[in-house]
């Protein structure tokens, strides 16, 4: 049950659960959800320094019921995924034309694609792409006259294929994010749905990052400029309703991260730094510090601080070190994540890049202890880099930030 609570909090951070329920899940996921006395959760609330945690028994039981519903949702997804996999297998064998599945099946496959992406593994991305491709085939072969629903499902399919393409560094990253943007623009003009309007800046940002792999910097900057013009009003509206830098939903952190990318690409470093500071605080609370979104937010903030010659703060941003350079729990947590990733080259590259940047930071700070530790980090980073890019024989001192970014998934840069 405790494992399910942990996954519920991590995954459902994207699903808009009630703030009180989110806060309660956040506490339960750190404890033994099977045996903790309920009295501790109700009477010990004054000692919980967590925004939106239930302040009294009525609020607690309301959040408790909401949490159970959210966990129940996740349990159903896990329980029926084998049946969804069997359904996919049947359709692939018989063919979409003979099977004539309904649009609800296509939507279900899109949800499965999203679920597999959340695992953040090479296998998960590959299977997620297969589901999204099949979903597209079904909607394109459908005889349904409900163009509005078909467009919504097709947009989701484009979205997942495009994002996975960016993760896996394939041409689908650019082509499908472009189709996603175009379809959302068309739907916005026709239907003016809030869901489409609020998704547009995310789509433009993903398209902008996909374009950078060509690279087509001019077109990417244009796309990011459009993203900025859409993102800012949404961010301002969210701040009016939820307060500045709310942590109860994932979207605020995503928007801040998007804006940080936009401003850095436009050369507005002070604004990029400010946005990345905010993202570095918001994203970990909303998605857990173990998420790749959090590690990306930390890294981007560290790079901005490095560029601003804030070397001591850069060390803190990368690995959450104290200024006395003692390892903290966050550094140990990152090492646990790298160990968990194992031989997955995509995530090894994230660890190597962080090692390199921290090594460069310590070298800049100077001092014998710093230089010794920096050398260890740089050698480890280069060892991993040579595994990933064996044909690149350049020396460490000849490499730049862009060289290390190029070996990392686009969505983790």
pLDDT in tens, 215-260: 666 776 777 777 667 777 777 777 777 778 877 667 678 778 878 8
Higher pLDDT, 206 or 13: 206
Give pLDDT, residue 62. 78
Please tell me the pTM assigned to this model. Answer: 0.59
Q: Answer whether the bond into residue 215 is a cis peptide, omega within 30°.
A: yes
Higher pLDDT, 152 or 3: 152
Give pLDDT, residue 186. 96
Report the candidate in 348, 338, 356 with the shortest Cα–Cα distance to residue 389.
348
Give pLDDT, residue 307. 82
Give pLDDT, residue 139. 95
Token pair of 363 as six digits: 């070298």
Confidence of residue 334 (pLDDT cuts 50, 70, 90): very low
Helices (H) and strands (E) in the chain, counts: 19, 0
Confidence of residue 150 (pLDDT cuts 50, 70, 90): very high
Query: φ and ψ at 391, to 5 degrees?
Result: -85, -10
Number of other residues whose CB lies within 10 A of the CB of residue 217: 12
Q: Dmax of the chain from CA atoms?
A: 72
DSSP 159-221: HHHHHHHHHHT-THHHHHHHHHHHHHHHHHHHH--HHHHHHHHHHHHHHHHHHTTTT-HHHHH
Q: What is the mean pLDDT of residues 133-155?
A: 95
Confidence of residue 342 (pLDDT cuts 50, 70, 90): low
Give pLDDT, residue 6. 42
Give pLDDT, residue 336. 44
* Nearest-angstrom CA–CA distance, 47 and 55: 11
* Nearest-angstrom CA–CA distance, 28 and 6: 8
- Residue indicated by tokens 């850095």: 264
Q: What is the mean pLDDT of residues 104-121?
A: 85
Residues 159-216: pLDDT tens digits? 999 999 988 878 899 899 999 999 999 999 999 998 998 888 888 878 877 776 666 6
| Residue burial 73-89, b: 16+ Cβ < 10 Å; e: rest | ebeeeeeeeeebeebbe
Give pLDDT, residue 312. 45
- Give yes or no for a contact between 106 and 138, defined as CB atoms under 8 angstroms apart: yes
Higher pLDDT, 188 or 77: 188
Report for 114-128, 142-156, 206-220, 299-313: range of highest mean pLDDT: 142-156
């Amino acid at each position: 049950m405790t494992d399910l609570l942990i996954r519920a909090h991590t995954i459902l951070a994207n699903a808009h659960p009630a703030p009180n329920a989110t806060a309660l899940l956040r506490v339960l996921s750190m404890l033994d959800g099977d045996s903790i006395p309920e009295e501790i959760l109700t009477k010990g609330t004054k000692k919980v320094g967590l925004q939106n945690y239930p302040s009294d028994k009525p609020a607690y039981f309301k959040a408790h019921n909401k949490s159970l519903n959210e966990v129940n949702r996740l349990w159903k997804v896990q329980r029926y995924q084998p049946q969804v996999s069997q359904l996919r297998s049947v359709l692939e064998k018989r063919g979409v034309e003979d099977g004539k599945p309904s649009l609800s099946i296509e939507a279900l496959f899109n949800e499965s694609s999203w679920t597999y992406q959340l695992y953040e593994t090479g296998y998960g991305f590959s299977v997620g792409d297969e589901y999204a491709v099949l979903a597209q085939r079904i909607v394109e072969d459908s005889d349904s006259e409900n163009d509005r629903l078909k467009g919504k499902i097709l947009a989701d399919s484009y979205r997942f294929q495009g994002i996975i393409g960016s993760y896996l560094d394939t041409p689908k990253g650019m082509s499908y994010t472009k189709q996603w943007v175009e379809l959302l623009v068309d739907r916005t003009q026709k239907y003016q749905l809030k869901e489409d309007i609020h998704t547009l800046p995310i789509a433009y940002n993903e398209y902008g990052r996909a374009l950078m792999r060509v690279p087509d910097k001019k077109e990417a900057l244009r796309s990011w400029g459009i993203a900025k013009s859409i993102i800012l009003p949404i961010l301002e509206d969210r701040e009016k309703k939820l307060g500045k830098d709310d942590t109860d939903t994932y979207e605020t952190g995503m928007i801040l991260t998007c804006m940080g990318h936009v401003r850095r690409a436009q050369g507005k470093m002070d604004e990029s730094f400010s946005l990345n500071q905010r993202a570095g605080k918001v994203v970990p609370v909303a998605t857990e510090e173990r998420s790749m979104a959090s590690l990306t937010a930390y890294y981007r903030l560290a790079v901005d601080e490095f560029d601003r010659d804030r070397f001591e703060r850069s060390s803190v941003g990368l690995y959450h070190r104290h200024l006395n350079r003692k390892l903290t729990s966050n550094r140990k947590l990152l090492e646990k994540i790298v160990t968990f990733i194992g031989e997955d080259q995509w995530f090894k590259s994230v660890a190597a890049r962080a090692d390199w940047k921290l090594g460069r930071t310590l070298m800049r700070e100077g001092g014998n202890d710093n230089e010794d530790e920096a050398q260890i980090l740089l050698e480890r980073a280069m060892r991993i880099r040579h595994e990933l890019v064996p044909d690149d024989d350049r020396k460490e001192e000849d490499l730049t930030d862009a060289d290390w970014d190029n070996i990392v998934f686009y969505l983790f840069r």
